[in-house]
Chains A and B, each alone.
Chain A
Amino acid sequence: MTRCDDVRTLFSAYLEGGLADAEIARVEEHVAACSSCSGLLEALRTVLAAGADLEGLEPPQAVASAVSASPCAHWLTLLYRAVDHELVPEALATLLNHLEACESCRAAWDDIALIRQVGSALEPPAQLVAKCRTAPFRRFRTPRRVMGVRTATAAAYLLAIATTLMVGNPVTLARNEAGNVFEKAQTAVHHSLKQLASDGKGELRVMIWRFWQWGERQVQATRDLLRGEDDHQNATEKTTPEQGGSS
């Protein structure tokens, strides 16, 4: 340790008056000869003087009054914490001691406890709780309606009218389409069976020939039936020309 460091360890005690005369003389002798230590001692005086300056700092009267004259204000805060079970047991015991001695705090305690009891009493009815519990599941089970019955009926009528106006009578269209398909199917079946009847052998050929003949008759009967219906419809349209729009 250098001589400067050695002397500097005594600075605090020197400024606080805690050194013996011999040590005081040693410090002063060194400081007189050492500008570095002299400057540092001066700065240290400034630090201690600043601390002394702060001794004049007084708490505002309002603060002193708040913490001393009305400790019940603090204890009321603790009452709420006690009701919420947030106080440590020791503090709670002290609070209860105070409640025994302080009538105003005891009244406040009664009020707070009453408020808590009222709050606890305001519980939702069991029926409401049950409804809330089952409501989400009910919603999942019930199918959702896209539209009402009346709306659906009106939409169906509108769709039928629009189709009639834009495309034609759906029944006639279906029948014509069925006729075309029927003709194509008949030709294909006729051709295939005729081939089998001419190329088949023995009893199988006779059976196929009979089946083909039966099929021919059935096809002819169906064709006659359809032709008869068409003639009847055409005759009806001719007798009522004022109603006769194109189908």
Chain B
Amino acid sequence: MMEDLEKTVERCRSGDQAAWAALVGATVKPLYRLCASFSPTAAVAEELTQEVYLKLWENLDRYQEGSSFMAWAWRVAKNLLIDAHRKSRRERDAAWLDPEVLDRLPSTDDPAKTAERRQRLELVEQGLRQLDQELAELVLLRDFAGMSYSELAEAMDLPLGTVKSRLNRARLDLATAVRRRLEIRPIRTSEATAPGGVS
């Protein structure tokens, strides 16, 4: 996958439109999730996605072969995303995972499951507000944009072990905030959660 992306980037540099389309196709989903996580509205998420791709294209020559494209994309788009997030917080006290963005999630057949999912995401969004910016970013990159630990380490320019320990701390802080809210208003689950791993 990495080698394919590298070759695709190389073709993009020479102005190949088909290569650009292939690159976007391979990366648009996680990047859109990332943009949506930082945006106050669905419309802003769309604008932000396009701005991020424009910025990626402008900086395409700075991408170094052998490095992770997603890590590089995060480094390039980081200021854009963080600025957009800060602006939205100033203007309308919005945080991550705005309800308007969550409305874009595909609905399930079971209304109870849809409501449960909605409640869960809102709980996490409220918990994210209480986290430090850097810790919240780690959770968003790993758990919402789906970046791997190695991509995170490269994006943050940190050793892998440090990334793992920081992410664990960020998750525990978030879980503590979520737990307090769960004690006040527990989620009505449609079925018992299986012990052990995550589905």
Contact = CB atoms under 8 A, between A and B. Distances in A.
Interface of A: 8-9, 11-13, 15-17, 28, 39-60, 62-64, 66-69, 71-72, 74-75, 77-78, 87-88, 90-91, 93-94, 97-102
Residues of A contacting B: mostly? helix
Contacts of A90: 59, 61-62
Contacts of B158: none
30 contacts: A11-B168, A13-B164, A39-B182, A40-B175, A43-B176, A43-B178, A44-B171, A44-B172, A46-B124, A46-B178, A46-B182, A47-B174, A47-B175, A48-B143, A48-B171, A51-B139, A51-B144, A52-B198, A56-B106, A57-B33, A62-B46, A63-B46, A67-B28, A67-B53, A69-B21, A71-B17, A74-B57, A91-B59, A94-B15, A102-B15
B179 A42 contact: yes
A66 B175 contact: no
Nearest to B194: A45
B60 interface: yes
Nearest to B49: A63
B79 interface: no
A50 B61 contact: no
Contact of B50 (A63, A97, A100): A63
A45 to B, nearest CB: 6
Interface string B157-199: 0000000110110011011101100110001000001010111
Given A67-B28, A68-B24, A50 B120 contact: yes
B124 A15 contact: no
Interface string B98-122: 0001001110000000000100110
B28 A68 contact: yes
Given A59-B28, A63-B46, A90-B62, A74 B54 contact: yes
Given A47-B143, A50-B120, A56-B106, A64 B24 contact: yes
Interface in B118-147: 120-121, 123-124, 127, 139, 142-144, 146
Contacts, number: 168
Contacts of B29: 58-59
A28 B195 CA distance: 10
Given A40-B176, A47-B178, A50-B120, A78 B58 contact: yes
Contacts of A102: 15, 17
B37 interface: yes
Interface residues of B, number: 62
Given A42-B182, A47-B124, A90-B59, 7 more contacts: A9-B165, A46-B175, A54-B121, A54-B144, A71-B57, A94-B57, A97-B14
A47 B144 CA distance: 10
Contacts of A9: 165, 168
In order of increasing CB-CB distance, the 9 nearest A-B pairs are A51-B143, A98-B15, A68-B24, A59-B32, A43-B179, A43-B175, A44-B175, A90-B61, A50-B124
Contacts of B58: 78, 87-88, 91
B49 A59 contact: yes
Q: Chain B CB within 10 Å — which of A47, A72, A78, A91 has the most?
A: A47
A67 B49 contact: yes
Contacts of A43: 175-176, 178-179, 182
Nearest to B118: A53
Contacts of A41: 175
Nearest to A24: B196
B172 A40 contact: yes
A51 B59 CA distance: 29
A71 B33 contact: no
Nearest to B14: A97
